[in-house]
Structure 1
Amino acid sequence: MDELGPSRVRLSWRLTNVESGANNNDDDGGGRYYVATFDNDGTHRKVKACTLVVTIPTYAIGTSLDVVLPGSADLFGRGKSDNAKISGGVSYPPVASVTVAYPKSTFLDIDLADGSGNLRDLPGFGMVSTRSAGLRILATLVSSSLFPGRCPMEYNLLSCTIGGARDEAVGAMSEDDLVAVVDGDLRTMLLRPEAPHPKVLGLEIWPRTIPQYELGHSDTMTELKRMEDANDAGGLWVCGNYRTGVSLTACINFGYNQAKVVAGHLSSKRRG
């Protein structure tokens, strides 16, 4: 942030429109440029740029790119088919995170077969659940084992994730119901029947989370690439984890690689 300077990063600004124009100023790279209009609580600002890399989620793009990429609003706004799990746009299912704590004494008193210790101490990173087991929890991190000092020694602290593409009903559930589901699954997996109600230390619901690479996603990305290629101005890229991979590593690698693409584009414009 310090290297970029105070005027380089702006928070809470929403992209509302992008248009293109032409100039003959070699210092600006010559040729075409973009004017991006942003809104912040009723305050508008226009930013002129030779290149534009859009990395916001597709559901937030709206009609902002339709002038420079005709049809993009329709492409990203298409929903799933009612008869098949086919997405014309990009699906972002809801996910909830529930953090709970239980006394260690209420966990099953079992020595683990791999010799790592007793289950009550939860000696591990966490676990991933399967739908075939009849559980709704997607994954559980044992925060008290990963980060000592997060809770009293006589407690275990667990961060549970629930929801996703196969359980979108989570987005409409109340906080009490979410806690009840998580508590029920943990009782099935880890707890003794007489375990008390958990201490709920955190609960967050994200209505839209990781984009899904569903059936039809490849066609959507192919159409997006066609729109970019048809943009005569050039220098406009619509990117994001829905296109380059959802992992942290994929996002970081994309950032480095895309920076080289932008630099190369600007260099070629100046040489031209």
Structure 2
Amino acid sequence: MTEAANPSTTVDVLIVGAGISGLSMAHDLQHPRKSDRPFNILVAESQGRVGGRIVTASGDGFLWESGPNSFAPTPELMKLAVDVGLKDELLLADRFLPRFVYWQGELMPVPMSPPAMVKSKLLSVPGKLRALVGALGFVGPKMGSEEREETVAEFFRRHLGDEVLKRLVEPFVSGVYAGDPNQLSASAAFSRVKRLEEIGGGLVAGAILSAKNKKKPAVAVDPNVPQAKRGQLGSFREGLEALPKAIAGTLGDAVKLNWHLLRLSPREKGTYIAEFSTPEGVKQVESRSVVLTTPTYASVEILEPLDVELGMALKGITYPSVACVVLGYPTEAFKRPMKGFGNLIPRGQGIRTLGTIWGSSLFPGRAPQGWEMVINFIGGATDNAIANLSEEEIVNAVHRDLCQTLLGEDVEPKVLAVHLWKRAIPQYNLGHLQRLHRIERQLQQFPGLYLCGNYSDGVALGDCVRRAQEGAEKLREYLR
């Protein structure tokens, strides 16, 4: 690749951010379609490492994640992993590992099928009947006008009742978004479920009609890509960070580390000048197109000088603080066999921790013999005060919670990691879809400038890969 440090250099695509989104897009663009010439790509990362929020570490015989812990093996993500040479490194967890909810002092399995729901002690008989009646479409009207946007709490309470909301939906929201169901938008955070109501009037009818109307495209199965089963979760032998490292390895010198974007300036001829602070001093790159894969709070610093309204729309997306606390305990310290995916904890149970992933149960070889590793998350939209605590205070809070939920005896934990993400997961709060529409509208005045981040339509790793590949196709169309 031509030396990008030369201010006169023009690249086709400048991607800002070497997290999973930016790297996936660069990888997709590096493999031209039949009608395309190879694109000249530069990926600029402000940190000294690739991977963004994916952080894998190891020590004392343990291997753990301080950000995302696993992925749903979507076809796009699995093919990407195979393409970058990680096929033999793939790990798929047992899909039958139980999930638990801590309710009224007891760990209760989450019912994963209708028969399991009938037998479950997590919901009372009236709660089950209320959920059944609501699922069949016998629901009350929305509060306020028909056009009024519902929160996640309002939507699920109306459809499935208060018990399902409190004991299943709220802990799920904590686990995925670290969010507040009284603030999250049902249309944005649970778009697929919300669509079922629109299709059939009720969730069951909507699911039936959706399945009937959905035409499966005739896509040939790639025999080189492992086929995962429903409910499985994936990782790699050396942890999730293996994926961004492998992608970066295929991109070579196109990835620049410790390059911090200072300003972006559109030129009259339709290109952009990007000015970077780098280890070699200030550098300029001219590009035909620019993609910001950075979080909104980082993107706004670059875009607000170009358009105030665009900056205001980006500022409306908030990120709560979440701490990831990785602890090790002797196996005999637990009051039950640690075989499962983990447990979530609804608010109101006297437990501050949002949930715990049983890391040494989920994937083999993550803890030494005779030890268990638990990965805990605390904070979120309902507990932003977590950001004001010291690491020791955070560990003590999590350990106290574990003494109630999992541990049979109060033993000293082996502290493996405490990672406070001061701005962790973007919140799809009320008005989110309108904010995205404003962002898209304002971007139209800057041809060739794109945003691609987990604040739009899905926070999971599979969503990031899918969205990056869709963005790469838009870029191809633009560059043609």
> Could you tell me the TM-score, scaled by structure 2's length?
0.46
Distance 1:69 1:42, change over 3 A: farther
Residue matched to 1:218: 433
Residue matched to 2:406: 190
Bigger CA drift: 91-100 or 39-48? 39-48
- Secondary structure of the residue aligned to 2:357 is strand
Residue matched to 1:9: 255
How does 1:186-265 map onto structure 2 within 5 Å? 186-192=402-408, 194-229=409-444, 231=445, 233-265=446-478
Residue matched to 1:179: 395
* Separation (CA, whole Å) in 2 of partners of 1:51 and 1:104: 53
* Separation (CA, whole Å) in 2 of partners of 1:41 and 1:209: 27
Is the contact made by 1:92 and 1:211 (CA closer than 8 Å) also made in structure 2?
A: yes
Residue matched to 2:93: none
Please tell me whether residue 131 in structure 1 is matched to residue 347 in structure 2. Answer: yes
Query: Can you give the 5+ residue segments of structure 2 that lack an aligned partner in the other structure?
Result: 1-247
1:70 positional shift: 4.1
- Secondary structure of the residue aligned to 1:261 is helix
- Secondary structure of the residue aligned to 1:131 is coil
Residue matched to 2:294: 56
Distance 1:45 1:170, change over 3 A: same
- Secondary structure of the residue aligned to 2:256 is coil
Is the contact made by 2:300 and 2:311 (CA closer than 8 Å) also made in structure 1?
A: yes
Please tell me whether residue 43 in structure 1 is matched to residue 259 in structure 2. Answer: no
Give the one of 21, 26, 39 matched to 2:267. 21
Tell me which protein shows more strand as a share of its residues: 1
* Separation (CA, whole Å) in 2 of partners of 1:3 and 1:98: 33
Residue matched to 2:382: 166
- The higher-RCO structure (CA 8 Å, 6+ apart) is 2
* Separation (CA, whole Å) in 1 of partners of 2:322 and 2:312: 25
Distance 1:254 1:135, change over 3 A: same
Distance 1:150 1:261, change over 3 A: closer
Is the contact made by 2:310 and 2:438 (CA closer than 8 Å) also made in structure 1?
A: no
Distance 1:5 1:199, change over 3 A: closer
Distance 1:149 1:259, change over 3 A: closer
Is the contact made by 1:15 and 1:61 (CA closer than 8 Å) also made in structure 2?
A: no
- Secondary structure of the residue aligned to 1:22 is coil
* Separation (CA, whole Å) in 2 of partners of 1:101 and 1:5: 37
Post-superposition Cα deviations, 1:70-116, rounded to whole Å, max 9, x if no partner, equal 43333334xxxxxxxxxxx11111111111122232322xxxxxxxx
1:201 positional shift: 1.9
How does 1:96-135 map onto structure 2 within 5 Å? 96-108=323-335, 119=336, 121-135=337-351
* Separation (CA, whole Å) in 1 of partners of 2:260 and 2:431: 28
* Separation (CA, whole Å) in 1 of partners of 2:250 and 2:368: 41
Is the contact made by 2:452 and 2:467 (CA closer than 8 Å) also made in structure 1?
A: no
1:239 positional shift: 2.5
Equivalent residues, number:
233
- Secondary structure of the residue aligned to 1:135 is coil
Structure 2 counterpart of 1:4, one-letter code: L
| Deviation beyond 6 Å, 4+ runs, structure 1 | none
Distance 1:4 1:157, change over 3 A: closer
Structure 1 counterpart of 2:383, one-letter code: D
Is the contact made by 2:326 and 2:415 (CA closer than 8 Å) also made in structure 1?
A: yes
Distance 1:67 1:167, change over 3 A: closer
* Separation (CA, whole Å) in 1 of partners of 2:303 and 2:272: 11
Residue matched to 1:113: none
Structure 2 counterpart of 1:238, one-letter code: L
Residue matched to 2:195: none
Post-superposition Cα deviations, 1:173-229, rounded to whole Å, max 9, x if no partner, equal 11111111111111111222x422222122111111110111232232121112012
* Separation (CA, whole Å) in 1 of partners of 2:249 and 2:371: 41
Tell me which protein shows more helix as a share of its residues: 2
* Separation (CA, whole Å) in 1 of partners of 2:357 and 2:301: 39
- Secondary structure of the residue aligned to 1:51 is strand
Residue matched to 2:115: none
1:127 positional shift: 1.4
